[in-house]
Structure 1
Amino acid sequence: MLNIADTLHLWCCQARPFALATVVDVHGSAPLPPGTSVAVDEDGNAVGSISGGCVEGAVYDLCRQVLGDRGTPQRARFGYSDNDAFAVGLTCGGELDVLVQRIDPPAQPHLAAALAEIVQGRPAAMAQVVDGPDDLIGHTLSVLGENQITYGSLDGGPADQAVADQARALLRAGRTGRATIGGDADWCPERLSLLVHVHASRPRLLVFGAVDFAAALSQAGAFLGYRITVCDARPVFATATRFPHADEVVVDWPHRYLQRTTVDARTAVCVLTHDAKFDIPLLRLALDLPVGYIGAMGSRRTHDERLRLLRGAGVSEEQLGRLRSPIGLDLGARTPQETAVSIAAEIIAHTNLATGRPLSQLTGPIHWPPRQGQPV
């Protein structure tokens, strides 16, 4: 539902009832991920998309039905029809499980509170019950803000705490995902399946070295939704004018800045300085931090010398295994812009535990679900 958060927030503020159709599961290849929603209000106005067009008409009709019936939520599965490619279906060959429910904003004030946080760009996680007892299907509980305050309630008991814990975990990871709780007769006998919609703060891209490659990489990173920091110890080069796509430009020794800034498992560190007096202290520190990606620019010869110096500085082989050097995928890149695409592509592939190989050389679904242990 985060794809239409602005409109949903407006409708909640207007106390306007609407039907919400949400993709709760995907089987095979599908154009949009779980959590994507369509909403239809009582006047027939629709917003959002869950399939890129191929099942929107059927979902719209189901929303109108649920909204008019004022009844219980409904589940539907949409998939490709081998017999009639023009029938309701996904021509990409996948299947979508969709939950359609009626929302009456005055009865769910915590939903408006969560949407307000999301619209303001603040972190929030909304746990939606998508499978379980009929009286809980569609109910939500939210964890909002940096202080992770809980809004809403499912049963007023142990289930609330368990759902909040799952929401906080996915909020820390920064990704929307499924979770299951309950099924324990001594604690929570009802088994609940949740879809946790996560709006996290932007992941960070730390670019060290105020060079032309850094300017191009800043632009690529901003396009991908990263919060960009460019850091260099040389004030004549590290200026906001040279890096208009960066959120901040810092003049400091790279390792000293990395020591004092905040990083997490979604942070990407790109070292573009080509200078051992900057690179070695910086990489020694970075390889000991829980960041998601670490890459360093340089030739094969520079890479070999860098490894020698890092080993001499006490960096273990296990830590060195985290280093992507020379940085980027083999795209034949020459210009700063091409190199930025090469680096950005490697970050995407690494984040998604993907191969980085051409899809034409692979088999199986194009869109895989998040994999076990996937960094984000």
Structure 2
Amino acid sequence: MEQKLFCNRGFLIISNHFNAFRRFLARIMQQIIENKESLAVATVIEADQTNIQFIGKRLLITESQLAGELLESPLASAIQRHKQSMLNQKGAQVVEIKTNTGLVNILCECYHPVAKLLVLGGGHIAQPLVNIASLLQYEITVVDDRPAFANKQRFAAARLVICDSFQSALRQHKIDKGTSVVIVTRGHKHDLECLEAVLQFEPAYIGMIGSKRRVKMVKEHLIGKGYSPEVVNQVHMPIGIAIGAETPEEIAVSIAAQLVAAKNGVIGGKIALTSSRQQWEMLEQILKAKEQLLPVVLATIVRTKGSTPRKTGAKMLVLPDGTCIGTIGGGCGEAEVRREALMLFDSHGAKLHRVMMDAATAADEGMVCGGQMDVFIERLV
């Protein structure tokens, strides 16, 4: 027998939150943010009649702990069965979960450590590369052993600039599966030293500058030292996508394009499990609202169909004065959601709202075609 899921359009589900619980949840979230470990957030957005009281409630999941309003609920064990798949997913998706009491639709979101970029060499290519990578939301570290090339004035967009020998810096710097490494030092000797040190780890990406002749020599050297051809061929050298780049800025663009392609699995075939700074900053904004008991409404895209400006997981916070933090795409659709969000300040509820972008609306918004977005709107505090 088919069970009907209540998507909560047209009426509100009232949920009471206790201050003590908010503070507990805030502490858990702060630990996750500071440790930068992966966090899965499962939010009930639709439910059948027997589970309708859980709409808007969450379970927070890491490898080592659980927290959230659903922790003591009958849904917790059913959600936990999806723990590994949620922690290993990128982005957000809606999953239907069967429980002993019925059906619920869960918005599963995963927050991973911020994508990191380690640039070895602070020369003329590194400067524009760091600026571009900052726009791409990388957390950047630059290393060079020359004070004139390793300083914050030269690399204002970098989180950390290290003036030290490459060997010393690499011994102290953590390189994990979320780190991309670009080797653009001032000479072949330093490049090779850096590459051999980096190959002891399993970074998301390794790229090294060099001519085809020089690359051939490096590959032969590494294989002669016992590195397998498979490992050596994972290094992108010469670095960058072939776009006929000539200037340092053009070379930086080609490297940045290759970084994005590797991160998204277009090359290498493996999608990096990383999140942007913006995603973590939004999570921190939500945390701040909970800690300070600020009245705020959160709007999250949970489904899309057709052409839409943003996809599942995009978020926007709405404050009582109508100020918005973040965006779900702008234009008429966002304005419609903002109006719906403002109404929740009087009702303390949650609802699912569908934004229809027909052909006329799409034309007004400058879109190629129309689509629709389901947006889950909830008052957090």
Partner of 2:160: 248
Q: Choose which of 222, 228, 235 in structure 2 pairs with 1:316.
A: 228
C-alpha displacement at 1:196, in angstroms?
2.5
CA distance in 2, matches of 1:240, 1:260: 19
**Equivalence for 1:128:** 43
The alpha carbon displacement at 1:140 in A equals 1.4
Q: Which residue is 1:374 aligned to? A: 271
Matched, 1:351 2:242: no
Residues 229 and 248 of structure 1 are in contact (CA less than 8 Å); yes or no, is this contact kept in structure 2? yes
**Aligned 8 A contact 1:276 1:306 in 2:** no
Question: Per the alignment, do residues 176 and 223 of structure 1 end up closer, same or farther by CA in structure 2, a change over 3 Å counting?
Answer: same
CA distance in 2, matches of 1:286, 1:238: 20
In the alignment, residue 375 of structure 1 is paired with which amino acid? A
TM-score normalised by L of structure 1: 0.57
Q: TM-score, normalised by structure 2?
A: 0.57
Greater shift, 252-261 or 336-345, is seen at: 252-261
Q: Distance in 2 between matches of 1:165 and 1:267?
A: 29
Structure 1 segment 195-210 matched on structure 2, within 5 A: 195-210=107-122
Name 1:332's counterpart in structure 2: 244
Identity of aligned residues (%): 27
Closer, same or farther: CA 373–272 of 1 in aligned 2, 3 Å: closer
Match of 1:233 in 2: 145
**Segment of structure 1 superposing worse, 147-156 or 291-300:** 147-156
1:157-211 per-position Cα deviation (integer Å, ceiling 9, x unaligned): 786367458567755x583244869769xxx797766432234442110000110
Report deviation, 1:287: 2.6
- Which residue does 1:268 correspond to in 2? 180
Match of 1:139 in 2: 57
Closer, same or farther: CA 319–132 of 1 in aligned 2, 3 Å: farther
2:270, 2:107 → 1: CA distance? 18
- Report the counterpart of residue 53 of structure 1 in structure 2: none
What is the aligned partner in structure 2 of residue 150 from structure 1? 66
Q: Is the 8 A contact 1:253 1:278 kept in 2?
A: no
Contact kept? 2:25, 2:68, Cα under 8 Å: no
Q: Deviations over 1:239-290 (max 9, x none)?
A: 2222111111112332442333223222110000152322223212323322
1:327 partner SS: coil
State the distance in 2 between where 1:110 and 1:271 align.
45
* Conservation of the 8 A alpha-carbon contact between 2:121 and 2:184: yes
Determine whether 1:70 maps to 2:12.
Answer: yes
Q: What is the CA–CA distance in structure 2 between the aligned matches of 1:260 and 1:108, rounded to whole Å?
A: 40
Shift in Å, 1:375: 2.3
Q: 1:126 to 1:318 in 2, by over 3 A?
A: same
In the alignment, the residues of structure 2 paired with residue 277 and residue 227 of structure 1 have an alpha-carbon distance, to the nearest angstrom, of 27
**1:150-229 pair list within 5 angstroms:** 150-154=66-70, 156=72, 160=76, 163=79, 175-178=90-93, 194-229=106-141
Contact 1:167 / 1:196 at 8 angstroms: preserved in 2?
Answer: no
Contact 2:95–2:105 (8 Å) recurs in 1: yes
Look up the SS of the partner of 1:324 in the other structure: coil
Q: 1:348 to 1:117 in 2, by over 3 A?
A: same
CA distance in 2, matches of 1:261, 1:198: 26
Secondary structure of 2:147's aligned partner: coil
Q: Equivalents in 1 of 2:170, 2:81: separation in Å?
A: 30
Aligned pairs (5 A) from 1:49-68 = 65-66=9-10
Q: Give the residue type in structure 2 aligned to 1:328.
A: G
Q: 1:111 to 1:225 in 2, by over 3 A?
A: farther
1:295 match: 207
CA distance in 1: counterparts of 2:18 and 2:139, whole angstroms = 36
Secondary structure in 1 matching 2:249? helix
Q: Which has the higher contact order (CA 8 A, sep 6+)?
A: 2
- Please, which runs of 5 or more residues in structure 1 have no aligned partner? 1-61, 72-101, 357-371
Taking the aligned partners of 1:110 and 1:167, their CA distance within structure 2 comes to 23
